[in-house]
Amino acid sequence: MNQLLAKARLSSGVFLELVQGDITIEQVDAVVNAANAHLTHGGGLAGVIARKGGPTIQAQSDAWVRQHGPVTHAQPAYTSAGELPARFIIHAVGPVWGSGQETEKLHDAVYGALALAAQLDLDSIAMPAISTGIFGFPLDLAAQVILESITAYFHDHTDTSLQQVRVVLYDQQAVAAFQAAWLSKDFNSQP
């Protein structure tokens, strides 16, 4: 069972939550997958999502890439969620650490995932610590960038279908990094 660690209401009215647990059991409209540009879901979180969600996810991902080409940081793809409790999976491509302009690319991936969720008229979304696993993005920096990108999106888009954004963290190291970033943002003092 996933544990709610922190919750704040952003000035746009959207609830932002930090959660420790398994993103694949989140009962939200969309789960964000930390994907690669070709949507080959072999390892890391992408592999877990594909295994738990069933073969439909990889089949739909392959079809997406055949039709649209490789996925970019700013323009994520989406598929059904297969056997997961969510309705959709938004496949966001975060940067590989050392590839250059990593901060901007991570911002684009988060912002793009939220924009796609709104385009799909979704109410809720769960997002992992994109790029911090096998892509090697440092957790402390990723926590800052992800939280800043979420707040920037809702600052720019006050009229959105999204009402809930859950950042779901698997391990204690990620939890510690995001809790520190959360405290530095002082979300709890926002109206």
Query: What pLDDT, on a 0 to 100 scale, did the predictor assign at position 102?
Result: 97
End-to-end CA separation in angstroms for the chain? 30
* pLDDT tens readout for residues 4-18: 999 999 988 999 999
Could you tell me the two tokens for 174?
């990620």
**CA gap 11, 19 in Å, rounded:** 20
Query: What pLDDT, on a 0 to 100 scale, did the predictor assign at position 188?
Result: 55
Residue ranges of the alpha helices (H) in the chain? 44-53, 55-68, 102-119, 139-156, 172-185
Mapped onto helix, strand or coil, the DSSP state of residue 35 is strand
CB-neighbour burial class of residue 51 (10 A; exposed 0-12, middle 13-18, buried 19+): middle
Query: What pLDDT, on a 0 to 100 scale, did the predictor assign at position 187?
Result: 65
What is the chain's Cα-based Rg?
A: 15
Question: Sheet holding 3-9: strands in order across?
Answer: 3-9, 15-20, 164-169, 124-127, 30-35, 88-93, 77-80
* pLDDT tens readout for residues 112-147: 999 999 999 999 999 999 999 989 999 999 999 999
In the chain the domains, ranked by start, together with CATH numbers, are 3-185 (3.40.220.10)
* pLDDT tens readout for residues 64-106: 999 999 999 999 999 999 999 999 999 999 999 999 999 999 9
* pLDDT tens readout for residues 27-57: 999 999 999 999 999 889 999 999 999 999 9
